[in-house]
Amino acid sequence: MNSDTMKMYEQCKKHMHSYVLVETVDGLSVDGILTGLDDEYVYMAVPNDAYPGDMNSMQGMSHYDRQFGYPFYGPFGYGPGFYGYGPFGVPRFRRLILPLAALTALTLLPWY
């Protein structure tokens, strides 16, 4: 591990389980909760609405679709599984794994 990666490792270790903003070498900025860390990767829980064009996002669905299921399937959908998401609906967070060497900045964000 080079010195920059070691410094970033120590910063991540210090802010484990905190809400942070991470910036990478290629300009990507991601906010989320640091959930894990090893010698090569940083593991984060990222809100599902972080990427508006993503398939997991609820952006394109109407109010009726979010409440009662996808159109033309009726109010009961496919049964108690709720489209494979279990009885609690769509998860609020998803896991994101980033290479530790690609991180350039880590900012602690306020938790509201």
Residue 78: its pLDDT value, please? 52
Contacts 24+ apart (CB under 8 A), 37-42: 37/9, 37/12, 37/13, 37/100, 39/1, 39/9, 39/100, 40/99, 40/100, 40/101, 41/97, 41/98, 41/99, 41/100, 42/12, 42/97, 42/98, 42/99, 42/100, 42/103
Q: Is the pTM of this model over 0.85?
A: no
Per-residue pLDDT of the chain (112 residues; tens, 9 = 90+): 799 999 999 999 999 999 999 999 999 999 999 999 999 999 999 988 754 444 444 444 444 444 444 444 445 555 555 555 566 666 788 999 999 999 999 999 987 7
Residue 111: its pLDDT value, please? 77
